[in-house]
């Protein structure tokens, strides 16, 4: 049995840096459309709350919240602020 395990185990590449040979952390899964909608709605709500729920700026709250959420998602999946 030891011989079988030794055959299955791949040797570490000596030319590759040690960090490259370590297992990669799993990437988070992309949020669904419904999850994105909820995230944007929550961010828009907090923007409206911050301004005292004064009527007339709901669309602006939503657009700013959408941009903020999409930027956070972009950073989480690309590691940079732009796609």
Residue 32 pLDDT > 70, yes or no? yes
Helix, strand, coil percentages (3-state) for the chain, rounded to 5, are: 60, 0, 40
* Cα separations in angstroms, 81 against 5, 10, 16, 78: 44, 37, 29, 8
Please write the tens of the pLDDT for every residue from 60-74.
999 999 999 999 999
Q: What is the pTM of this model?
A: 0.63
Stated length of the chain? 83
Q: How far is CA 55 from the centre of its chain?
A: 32
* pLDDT for 11: 54
Angstrom distance (rounded) from CA 57 to CA 9: 61
């Amino acid at each position: 049995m030891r011989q079988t395990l030794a055959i299955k185990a791949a040797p570490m590449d000596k030319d590759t840096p040690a960090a490259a040979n370590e297992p990669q952390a799993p990437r988070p899964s992309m949020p669904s459309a419904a999850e994105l909608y909820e995230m944007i709605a929550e961010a828009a709500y907090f923007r409206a709350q911050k301004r005292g729920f004064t009527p007339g700026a709901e669309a602006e709250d939503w657009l700013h919240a959408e941009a903020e959420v999409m930027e956070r998602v972009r950073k989480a999946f690309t590691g940079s602020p732009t796609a």
